[in-house]
Every structure is written in C-alpha cells, then in structure tokens.
Structure 1
Amino acid sequence: MKTNPGRFFEDYRIGETITHAVPRTVSGGERALYHALYPARHALYSSDEFARNCGLAASPLDDLAAFHVVFGKTVPDVSLNAIANLGYAEGRWLSAVYPGDTLRSESTVIGLKENSNGASGVVYVRTRGINQNGTTVLDYVRWVMVRKNRLDAPAPDAVVPALAKVVAPETLVIPAGLDFSRYEFALAGEPHRWGDYAIGEKIDHVDGVTIEEAEHMIATRLWQNTAKVHFDATFRPDGKRLIYGGHVISMARALSFNGLANAQMIVALNAGAHANPCFAGDTVKAWSEVIDKADTSAPGVGAIRLRLVAVKQGAAPFALRGEDGKYLPEVLLDLDYWAVMPK
C-alpha cells in the first residue's frame, strides 16, 4: 500500500521520535499571506526598519506563523485522524525565524492514555522546530485525541506526563540583540508600556471577525496542515468542517493588537485549550487578562504573562467558565503566554 491513511491511537509507542516531512523554506510570502488572513499589525513583524531600531537584523517571521509551519509538519503523523487538538504546554520560542530559513519538525511521544469509550485515546507529543543550521527554534508539548482503527487493539499502559503549569520567566529566551530602549511608540500604534499594565487587569479588544470557510481553508493549506476534519465535510457526524485551532489562535492574537499593540513578540506558551469547536460563520472576538510580569536582562524589555481568550457571538463580557467549572459554550480558546514589551 503506497498511500498513507495516517496513524491511529494504537500505532503510537512511548519514547518513539517521529521525523516529519516536508522541510519548508519560508519567505516574505508567508508574512504577506499571514497578514492578509489575519488583522496582524504588530510593528516588529511588519517593518524591517522598526525591527532594526529594536536591535534585530530585520523583521522576523511572525511568531505564530513560525509555530504554524512547525505544527503543520506534524499533522500527517500526529493528528491526521484526530478528533480534536486538546491543549499545549511548555512552549518556548528559542530563536527568531527569518525569511530564507528552512524549518523541519520532529516529535517524541511522551504520553498515551486510552479513553474510557475504547474508541479513541489521547496522544502527548513534544515537538521541536529545527532550522537549516540544526538550531531548535521552537519547542512545545501538545496533546490530541486520536481515533482507534482497531477497536480490539489492547489499551497501552496509561502514561500522562507531568507538565509545568507555566514557563519560568528566568528561562524565557529573548532574541539576541533585542533592545527596546529606543522604541518608537508612535509607530507601534499605542503608548502603553510594560509598567502601565497591572496584574489582574482585563482588556476587551473590542473588534470582531466573522470566520469564513474559504479563508480558513487557505490558511490551513498554507501551513500544510492536512487534518481531515478541516477539509472533509463527511468526516464529522454534523457535516461541518472544523476550523483549525491555530486559525483561532492567530485571529485572537491579531485582534489583541487593540490594547496590546506593544506586546510585540510571543516568547513562551504556558498552556492552551481549544475549549469549544469553531465553525465557519462564527464571529470571533477576544479579551485578555494580565496574569504576571517579569523583568528581563534585555535593555528596555519586560516580559508580560497574558491570558488570551477567544469567544464567539453571544458571549458575556469577560465570561470564561460556568458554575460547574466548565468552559462556557461561547468560549473557543483559552491561551496563556508570555510576550515581551517595552518598559
């Protein structure tokens, strides 16, 4: 058999490392398409001159664009037969990605747990994005619910990895040379500095975008994500194509510009959950909460820990969970990350 039906839950083994196809050389085209698909306006990712003024050689590729490229490589081996992508942890951006870099991915299976229904299970992997020099540019853990192909396949011994709830601020990797001491607030779009944000503060990002079927599929193809649930309307009982979770992440991050224009770079992903499915026709809005702040050794650079919540139409302001502790049905995404901001 020459075609690839994808892996099912019973095909994974703890400790195995999977080398993913196909390496991808990124260019300015990725940036142009990313900014066309999302209202992305952070200055550091938009202007070479702004980036040089901040100590970088040029404008890097958007952090989430790099994430999507690395993530997309893993799909044929990890989530082609997924029911849902469930969460993220321990993510760190370790080196900036620039046009001309070539990225590849590899994943190690670190956890397996069959579901009680015996028809699916959860697979935990640690994925590394690696550039042409062998440098790891991105490292993260994700877990995904995957179908079983053979329902009589024996359940593996359950292994659920112990994952850190937050990336320690002292382990954050600030891009070499980053210097916000001459930061141009007027060009960035907002005057708010690191010191202007208080722990516990919540920010309504105001704007909304209605998700379109065509744009979602263009985005998912751009990242070479081949998961069947995103394209094949017959693959789900409800006959709907599931919107790629990364599409919601990027949309919410772009919407957060209104209120967090100076949260320029994401440097760590502490946790994340796709709380409810998103479908074409849903209107996505976002709000953020300041969870923590930390100093860094880079000139003029502070780190800010943010909760980014994406919701759809009908959501109450800043509402997250019901009285039962479960996510409200209007909540699409709950993402906890560190970003860098001028002090």
Structure 2
Amino acid sequence: MAKTNPGRFFEDYRIGEVITHAVPRTVSGGERALYHALYPSRHALYSSDAFAQECGLDGAPIDDLAAFHVVFGKTVPDVSLNAVANLGYAEGRWLRPVWPGDTLRAESQVIGLKQNSNGKSGVVYVKTTGFNQDDDPVLEYIRWVMVRKGDLDAPAPDTLVPDLKPVVPADELVIPEGLDFSRYEFKLAGERHRLGDYAVGETIDHVDGVTIEEAEHMMATRLWQNTAKVHFDATNREDGKRLIYGGHVISMARALSFNGLANAQMIVGLNAGAHANPCFAGDTLRAWSEVLEVADTPAPGVGAIRLRLVATKGGIQDFALKGEDGKYLPHVLLDLDYWALMPT
C-alpha cells in the first residue's frame, strides 16, 4: 500500500468539503528575523516592541503577511500541490494579530469548482481560515487555483463559481483591540505622511528595485513550508524553470512600498489579487501603488487606506497595467488590492 501523498487532483474535490490541514506550527521571533532578512521590510509596528506598545499593543506582532504565508503554506499539500497556478484572492480579513509563541493551523472549505474547456485542469475555489492555539480565527481569505486533472476521463463536476465581494467594506475590517495612533511617532516610523496627505487616484512610485535570487525564494518557500511542485521541481514545468511563489512577490512588493507608504502599517483586508504573469529568478522586481479609497475607523487616530499594489519586472515604472485588449501587460507580475491601517 502506497504511503506517500501524491496530492489532490481536480476531480478529487467536492463542493462543501472541509479540509483540515496538517501540520500546526508555532511561530517565534525567528519568523520575524527571517522575514526581515528575506524582504526589505521596515514597517515600525512590526519592527519594534516599544513602538507597538506606544500604539496600544502588547508588543510587535508577527508581520501580517508572514502570518498569511504560514497559514497559506499549510493549505498547499491539500489544495495546490498539483496546481498549474494560483489565480487570485478575495474577501481576505486579518481578524487578530499573531504573536510570537502562537501556534497556527488552517482549515479550508471547497466553495466552487469549474472544469476548464481543455478537460485537462479545473479551477478550485476554497475559503481558508487560520486559527491560533485557542481556536480563535486569526485570518480568513478566499483563493482560487488551477489544478491538474489526474484522470482526464473523470467526469466534470457541476460548475459552481462563487459570487465574491469585489471589496471588503471598510466597516467590516477588524481593528486590533487597543490599537491607538493618537501618540504615533512619525519620525520613528520613517515618514511624516498621514491619511489626509493621500488623495484617491494618487499613484506612488516606490522607486527601489530588488532582483529575485533563486536561493532566497527557495529559502522563503521552505520557511512557509510551501510544497507546491512548481516552486521546487524544475522538471515540473516545460520551460525547466522554478516558478517564484506568488507570496514571495507580494511580500517583496509590500516591503518596497515602505518608500512612500511607511505609515501604512497593519494589513487588515485583502480585496482582490491576481498573479498577472509568472516571476522567475533573475527578474528585477519594482512596485507602485494607487490610492483607491480612504475611510475612518472607530479606533483613536486610526484610519484605513485602500491601496492597489502593483509589482512589475524590468526598468522604469510607467504605471501601465493593461493593454488595449484588457489583458495585463507582460511586465506586470502582481495586481493586489488591500486595506491597511494608517494614522489620521
């Protein structure tokens, strides 16, 4: 009897099925140190216990995206081990901070299925929730993945594409308990810009670029225990290249956005996201943002800013996103729509 896990194929999923993912993971300050080593991440709330305490928290949480990657990594063996590509995200919310010492686990529910016209693959929609050791939910999100069929003759399931919210409403964002930006130290945070300094429609070139290295993306993918074959096995793709984990691109672009958005601190919502084109080692990643919306929150001195974060590869930014045909331009790697908390 075979004891190894070949992973699920498209025909193995059923609508409504709840998948409990292995293996729970206790996070520590080591995750923070490695996260900041892999990405040029400098947001003050995640870098300094003292800064976070002045903002009403017990200390600096683990970066929101680091928590996301840990939970995401749990889902890979059951959801995307045989994926062709991770296609998008929606309805993401961070529900409470993750602290060093917390143990995270994940569950996913299959909420949609659609076989592709070629009959060789299909799209699987799942809603994933990450929990801590007290079974408190820490984050939730929906993603959809293109997954290969193992048996090409397996009948196609009934198509169900979930109706997803285009944006998480600002009043549904969860503000961490005690968060207070009324004594926010702008000089220590790195920039003086507050929520009122940003205009809807404004675009920000984050200026810096980082060339993606094979060793760093492999370390990152292992850190998050992401076992998707396309990231590790060069024989898994016809071009013989290892695909860069999309979360690596997200974290790199978010870190680059510090230059211009240093005070966009905690990520609390993920409205939409698309990995527009594949990223490979040797690509030089740059980023720009567009301000989409601003909103008040009930927390003292805390506002919410909705941002479109775009990662590109290559040279000078031109803020171009799509061509006349409506398709993403070939140099666009990531189009991410998210909410962050910022002092007012």
- Structure 1 stretches of 5 or more lacking a match? none
Give the CA RMSD over aligned residues: 0.5
Q: Which residue of 2 aligns with 1:37?
A: 38
In 2, the alpha carbon distance for the partners of 1:281 and 1:32 equals: 24
In 1, the alpha carbon distance for the partners of 2:330 and 2:117 equals: 23
Give 1:317 deviation, angstroms.
Answer: 1.0
Listed one character per residue, the Cα deviations across residues 123-147 of structure 1 (whole Å, up to 9, x for unaligned) are 0000000000010000000000000
The answer on 1:236 being equivalent to 2:237 is yes
In 2, the alpha carbon distance for the partners of 1:277 and 1:108 equals: 27
Matches within 5 A, 1:79-90: 79-90=80-91
Q: Which residue of 2 aligns with 1:303?
A: 304
Matches within 5 A, 1:130-145: 130-145=131-146
Listed one character per residue, the Cα deviations across residues 234-278 of structure 1 (whole Å, up to 9, x for unaligned) are 000000000000000000000000000000010000000000000
In 2, the alpha carbon distance for the partners of 1:85 and 1:142 equals: 8
Q: Give the letter for the 1:282 counterpart.
A: D
Listed one character per residue, the Cα deviations across residues 32-80 of structure 1 (whole Å, up to 9, x for unaligned) are 0000000000000000000000000000000000000000000000000
In 2, the alpha carbon distance for the partners of 1:80 and 1:63 equals: 24
* TM-score normalised over the length of structure 2: 0.99
- Confirm or deny: 8 A CA contact 1:54 1:179 kept in the other structure: yes
Matches within 5 A, 1:1-343: 1-314=2-315, 316-343=317-344
In 2, the alpha carbon distance for the partners of 1:72 and 1:303 equals: 28
- Confirm or deny: 8 A CA contact 2:89 2:273 kept in the other structure: yes
- Aligned-residue sequence identity (percent) comes to 82
Listed one character per residue, the Cα deviations across residues 269-302 of structure 1 (whole Å, up to 9, x for unaligned) are 0000000000000000000000000000000000
- Confirm or deny: 8 A CA contact 1:123 1:146 kept in the other structure: yes
Q: SS of the counterpart of 1:318?
A: coil
Give the length in aligned residue pairs: 343
- Confirm or deny: 8 A CA contact 1:315 1:330 kept in the other structure: no
- Confirm or deny: 8 A CA contact 2:205 2:317 kept in the other structure: no
In 2, the alpha carbon distance for the partners of 1:247 and 1:342 equals: 27
Q: Give the letter for the 1:326 counterpart.
A: K
In 2, the alpha carbon distance for the partners of 1:4 and 1:181 equals: 52
Q: Give the letter for the 2:30 counterpart.
A: G
Listed one character per residue, the Cα deviations across residues 136-169 of structure 1 (whole Å, up to 9, x for unaligned) are 0000000000000000000000000000000000
Give 1:179 deviation, angstroms.
Answer: 0.2
* TM-score normalised over the length of structure 1: 1.00
